[in-house]
Chain A
Amino acid sequence: MANNEVKIDVAKLTAKDFQSDQDVRWCPGCGDYSILAQVQRVFPDMGKKKEDIVWISGIGCSSRFPYYMDTYGFHGIHGRAPAIATGLKVAHPNLSVWVATGDGDLMSIGGNHFIHACRKNIDLKIILFNNRIYGLTKGQYSPTSEKGKVTKSTPFGSVDYPFNPPSLALGAEATFVARSIDREPKHMQEMIKRAAEHKGIAFLEVFQNCNIFNDGAYAPLTDKDVKLDNVIVLEHGQPMVFGKEKNKGIKLDGFSPVVVDLNDGKHSINDLWVHDEKDENPIRAFILAHLTDSTDLPTPIGVFRQVIKETYDDGVENQIKAVTQKKGKGTLHQLLYNANTWEVE
């Protein structure tokens, strides 16, 4: 019943309905514009009423996102968006709660909240705007910057290793892990839809170009001439084929992924690794996440893994129901007087 009502209601919504009255203040050419546009394009079809959607963010360029969405929004403090979102979702479980965050916000100062939101499988949708740089503080290296990165705070190159966000999410037991790219609008829309449909924590990393402080960070993945050789699009149940001519594939040699040439006469499509995003065993998803460790292997985009288990917020509701059924709804009088009491005459 309620679902039908919702659908009739939201059929009228368009992308424009999700645009707030605030001027968008990102730098011209920023990849964030694309993420905003794809979200606004997808949201009318989500089957959710505008008032039931909340965007929560931390601090950074990406975290201005809630101001531009005409939904409920909360621009929080640095790193804490998943924790604020968790409280809101647990208190008010029928809301659709989204987190807009960046690589500094989520992977550095907010790392603890991120892994615990994943572990608890709280029904949140987290979009990581990963530009591998601190933009709002004007160009320091971030926890996803490649080793050796020269920035204002690392004039001789950074000496630390970056996080691999999908690997971190998988390690923290996230039930939905996906990646897209700012320059692939259709693919990103698909990923946003998939995240929205997932019941449980959904983590979507979006490679996003910062044209001011880290321009071209993803050029090999976005330049028309080379991207098809450098990106592999993950599709559930499909063999892992890529390349301009669709002539390359990935084969699993034990736990090692290797690129094979489908035209060399030695390999056929039947030899290739068939992607199974529902695999209960997370090992292959980890291998996928680590394809980026080698320059010989393509970078995957798409859904790495999706598994279903009870969410934290449902667990809380179910426990309250079960205890209330057993004990009966408490009253103020019981609260105070159901104890060892005595009378003074």
Chain B
Amino acid sequence: MAQVNGKEVKSLSEVTVRFAGDSGDGMQLTGSQFSDTTALVGNDLSTLPDYPAEIRAPAGTLYGVSGFQLHFSSNDIHTPGDTPDVLVAMNPAALKINLKDLKQGGVVIVNEDSFDSKNLKMAGYSVNPLDDESLTGYKVHQVPITTLTQTALKESKLGTKEVQRCKNFFALGMMYWMFSRPIEPTLEWIESKFKGNEDLIWANQKALKSGYYFGEQTEIFTTRFTVDPAKLPKGTYRNVSGNEAIALGFVAAAELSNLPLFLGSYPITPASDILHYLSKYKNYGVKTFQAEDEIAGIASAIGAAFGGSLAITTTSGPGVALKTEAMGLAVMTELPLVIINIQRGGPSTGLPTKTEQADLFQAIYGRNGEAPIPVIATSTPSDCFYLSIEAAKIALKYMTPVMLLSDGYIANGSEPWKLPNVDELETFHKEFRTEVENFNSYDRDENLARPWAVPGTPGLEHRIGGLEKHHITGNVSYDPDNHDFMVRLRAQKVAEIVKDVPDLEVRGDQEGELLVLGWGGTYGAITEAVDRILANGMNVSQAHLKYLNPFPKNLGDVLSRFKTILIPELNLGQLATVIRATYLREVVSLTKIKGLPFKSMEVESKISEILGGSNGK
């Protein structure tokens, strides 16, 4: 074991850290700065921000606790970690809420200053847990973070309150020291974030540095850790969250399709960040329209699609509910449109800041009439980039609305992303109809797509709308046979997209005892669970669905090759129901509806149980 400045340096292969404090303590910021720096030093990482719906819940309360968990490693990892190794608790409430998740023997760093009688009472502690046996079995470090921050900033021109608000940077500095991360990226970030306010820049930078030096000098910490860079494939990397990757994906899709991008959107958690990101890309010609409501968000996008834009609308479940009628209009008018649903806990307002996968039925079936639309689902933050492009491609090629599903966990979580070579991204130019001769607005090409004739094109003046359309001419038609024909035609058009859907790949044995079939954000937890089962010498296969309508054409065949199918989902078994109905076969459903992602252990335990093993660990 190496020694630096009289301190041990221990090398670890992976660590899970959780920052927790009041929702006003800046824990999300602290967590995301730690993530960005950790990405820059080359670790693989996965994050789980977990915060309340209230912006500034009363200080010290249990319900006001905001957390940010980060798993980083020198290996390829897939989840934010089941149990933290280190907990940074800024107050008693944060300790109370989070301690139960901590690994036995884990490290607890507490802000000692906040353990006063008022905060203890609010957290429901009758006795100070720092003084009794509650923390036995953990390595506890008590640091007077507030006092140390105040001392460090005694020359600052800021008021007491503002000085105290710098304490998250002190804590971050300590953690940078403990895990041997550079402080420079965050120093630069502070500089640009508070540009123009020298006092804030000075104070936050000073707090960060003071925290770092405190780690170096104090005798509280005897050990420092290093985590080597991960052996990731060669390339250029950046850290990316799911929502940012969706924004980047659609700007890229617009460039690749040579169309202007239009976003019609209404702010909603956890989708708003896509609107924020896209509204920055004015110099890419992106138009973002913050509409008066969810309905105007999609209606404006439909108008823009009629006018020849690559049009999208972003929202979460309650917003999709409001957009439903307009989605039917897009089905009837056969215009290209992508509806992006960042799923959250439901029903109704539900759990706005928590993750869930309970909008699958809504995505596949949730419209009046026979109104099929393609549905695809992202599985990791970086995957969002590619599936956004894929959604745009399908919408344009088949002239159809497409539902792209993500969830709060993918949206806010981040991971290192190996950037693609932009020259290798495939272009997909869509031709507008310009030829006047034989023009019919509901004519069909080989993909059953109708022509896209954009206003401004001479000689192609035509009318579309929500009333049933006559095949070929597009005139309003109430003819019973025509309606029957058109309903089947629209269904057939969506069904035939299957020809572009890649076959479902099975990881592991191609037939056997058990297949774990997942979709969406459960990918990481399932992968990690399967890894561990395989490492324990048991046999299991894994497949993950990205295309939920239509399903890959080999799905039925894949299902038939396994004795048992396990479907873990953060709902009451929606994919399981669709699979049963479509393929007439029984499946085992593993469900969890807590507003939290699966822990890999939960999936592993179910797999073990099915395989007759040791019931997990």
Contact = CB atoms under 8 A, between A and B. Distances in A.
Given A56-B303, A85-B303, A76 B229 contact: no
Given A52-B456, A76-B465, A90 B283 contact: no
Interface string B437-457: 000000000000000001111
A91 B299 contact: no
Interface stretch (B103-111, B146-154, B202-210, B232-240): B232-240
A332 interface: yes
B456 A76 contact: no
A91 B309 contact: yes
A90 B304 contact: yes
Q: Which of A92, A326, A331, A335 has the most CB of B within 10 A?
A: A92
A51 B461 contact: yes
B459 interface: yes
Nearest to B325: A77
Given A51-B461, A340-B238, A74 B40 contact: no
Nearest to A22: B475
Contacts of A259: none
Interface stretch (A214-222, A249-257, A302-310, A316-324): A316-324
Interface residues of A, number: 59
B237 to A, nearest CB: 5
Interface in A65-88: 66-67, 70-77, 80, 83-88
Contacts of A91: 260, 262, 287, 303-304, 307-309, 311
B578 interface: no
Contacts of B40: 340, 342
B236 A76 contact: no
Given A56-B303, A76-B299, A344-B234, A323 B461 contact: no
A333 interface: yes
Given A328-B283, A329-B283, A335-B251, A51 B457 contact: yes
Contacts of B304: 87-88, 90-92
Interface stretch (B164-172, B359-367, B419-427, B505-513): B419-427
Contact of A72 (B237, B295, B461): B461
Contacts of A337: 236, 238, 419
Contacts of B463: 20, 22, 66-67, 72-75
Contacts of B556: none
A345 B231 CA distance: 9
B284 A54 contact: no
Contacts of A67: 463, 465, 476
Give 4 closest A-B pairs by Cβ, nearest first: A75-B465, A87-B303, A87-B300, A83-B299
30 contacts: A20-B463, A51-B457, A51-B459, A54-B455, A66-B465, A70-B461, A72-B461, A72-B463, A74-B464, A75-B466, A76-B302, A77-B299, A83-B292, A83-B296, A84-B299, A86-B291, A87-B262, A87-B289, A88-B304, A91-B287, A95-B455, A330-B281, A330-B283, A332-B256, A332-B422, A335-B251, A340-B36, A342-B40, A344-B232, A345-B234
Interface of A: 20, 22, 49-52, 54, 56-57, 66-67, 70-77, 80, 83-92, 94-95, 112-113, 115-116, 316, 319-320, 323-324, 326-333, 335-337, 339-345
Interface of B: 36, 39-42, 185, 229, 232-239, 248, 251-252, 255-256, 260, 262, 264, 281-285, 287, 289, 291-293, 295-296, 299-309, 311, 325-326, 328-329, 333, 418-420, 422, 425, 454-467, 475-476
